[in-house]
Amino acid sequence: MENQALLERFQNYVDAENKIEAKDWMPDGYRKTLVRQIAQHAHSEVVGMLPEGNWITRAPSLRRKTILISKVQDEAGHGLYLYSACETLGVDRDTLIEELLSGKAKYSSIFNYPTVSWADIGAIGWLVDGAAIVNQVSLQRTSYGPYSRAMVRICKEESFHQRQGYEIMIALAKNGNEAQKKMAQEAFNRWWWPSLMMFGPSDAASAHSGQNMAWKIKRHGNDELRQKFVDMTVPQAEYLGLTIPDKDLKWNEATGHYDFGEIDWTEFNEVVKGNGPCNKQRLQTRNKAHDEGAWVREAAMAYARKQQERQAVSAA
Ligand code: BYC
């Protein structure tokens, strides 16, 4: 059993808003849940490249193509910061990647939906990166130092991503022709509900929220962040002239928030279990990319080995 005095000291330290660093003592449960969450987050960034990467060769102009390449590359970078943050907790990256490739690890449900038209790229930037920012701004204040610092950098880049998505939506939904407006509305219809699901199960059903809020890993509950996202996004949709695909959505004067309809939790659970529209395709594509990148890893390791040999010779 973990020493009660150590646990109390840890909790007091966290309550006083101190950051926990890699070499500090921490409860096993704290380490375990952080590895779980940060790894899932890293995998989400990496798999998150696939739905958008799918449109790089089909972007409608050179300008759009260069912006999209840059955004997708940023997501790879976010994956790297997060795998590094996870490694500080004592797990190695190969194990994490193996768990992703074998299908054992989870990643965000959102990336198991298809990108059917160019408007989906706008909708992802606007809604998916928008939802990610709401969640990640909160995580900037997470109690684990390396995760918190990774979040600061990631949030800066995500806000560019959100704006590039919104700018695509302005071009299509506000300034576009009838066909483009229709395409934007259809993409919005496809991504609205899955974006709300990104925040996870409702607080009552969330397995980890209670303990993780006490440890200040999570700073806000899933429902609170989801509400914040809805309140922020509805006026943006109105500006674009888009209709929210929810007949129950209405402003509530008493609460000062938008009320919205019930999320389809059966769909959410199915997607998380691996039965979403693109789960199998995403894992296959990721595995193929990993296999095709074997020569890059071998070359990088060969270079690192050569460097070590040289250092050993010069030290002798
Ligand atoms: N999808 O107790 P709960 C991006 C799981 S990528 C799948 O509330 P927690 C971007 C949850 O893991 C940004 N699974 O859990 C990239 C748990 O299962 P386990 C991704 C989900 O951890 C490219 C179970 O349900 N962001 O920005 O307290 C292009 C019970 O849930 C989901 C992050 O990863 C889901 N949506 O709270 C564009 C943020 N939701 O592990 C954009 C970091 C829940 O017990 N993560 N589950 O088997 C978090 O903040 C938290 O982990 C969550 C869930 C709020 C997601």
CA-to-CA dists, residue 19 to 7, 37, 80, 108, 181, angstroms: 15, 17, 21, 26, 47
48 CA closest ligand 1 atom index:
23
Q: Are 119 and 168 contacting, i.e. CB atoms less than 8 angstroms apart?
A: yes
Amino acid at 42: A
Nearest atom in ligand 1 to the alpha carbon of residue 131 is 27
pLDDT at 265: 98
What is d(CA 179, CA 122) in angstroms, rounded to the nearest whole number?
Answer: 15
Q: Give the CA distances from residue 177 to residues 34, 186, 237, 238, 268, in Å, rounded to whole numbers and listed in that order.
A: 47, 14, 17, 18, 34
Q: pLDDT by residue (tens digit) across 221-235?
A: 999 999 999 999 999
- Residue 1's pLDDT is what? 56
Q: What is the spatial distance between Cα 55 and Cα 67, in angstroms, rounded to a whole number?
A: 12
Q: Indicate if ligand 1 lies below 6 Å from the C-beta of 84.
A: no
Question: What's residue 2's pLDDT?
Answer: 67
Half-sphere exposure (CA, 13 Å, Cβ side) for 260?
Answer: 20
Give the distance (Å) from ligand 1 centre to CA of residue 17: 24
| pLDDT tens per residue across all 316 residues of the chain | 568 999 999 999 999 999 999 999 999 999 999 999 999 999 999 999 999 999 999 999 999 999 999 999 999 999 999 999 999 999 999 999 999 999 999 999 999 999 999 999 999 999 999 999 999 999 999 999 999 999 999 999 999 999 999 999 999 999 999 999 999 999 999 999 999 999 999 999 999 999 999 999 999 999 999 999 999 999 999 999 999 999 999 999 999 999 999 999 999 999 999 999 999 999 999 999 999 999 999 999 998 888 899 999 988 8
Question: Which two structure tokens, joined as six digits, stand for 40?
Answer: 């899932």
What is the Cα–Cα distance from 129 to 188, expressed in whole angstroms? 14
Whole-number pLDDT of residue 304 = 87
Q: What are phi and psi of 133, to 5 degrees?
A: -65, -45
For the residues of 187-212, what is the DSSP string, one character each? Answer: HHHHHHHHHHHTT-S-GGG-SSHHHH
Q: How many angstroms separate the CA atoms of 208 and 121, rounded?
A: 32
pTM for the model: 0.95
pLDDT at 80: 96
Cβ of 300 closer than 6 Å to ligand 1, yes or no, is no
* Ligand 1 proximity of 143 Cβ (cutoff 6 Å): no
Rg (CA), the chain: 21
The best mutation among 44, 72, 220 to test binding of ligand 1, ranked by most ligand atoms within 8 Å of the C-beta, falls on: 44
From 142, 168, 272, the mutation candidate for ligand 1 (largest count of ligand atoms within 8 A of CB) is 272
Give the per-residue pLDDT at 315.
Answer: 87
**Element containing residue 251 per DSSP (H, E):** strand 250-252
Question: Whole-angstrom Cα distance, residue 263 to residue 201?
Answer: 9
pLDDT per position as a tens digit, 224-280: 999 999 999 999 999 999 999 999 999 999 999 999 999 999 999 999 999 999 999
Is residue 42 within 8 Å of residue 79, measured between CB atoms? yes
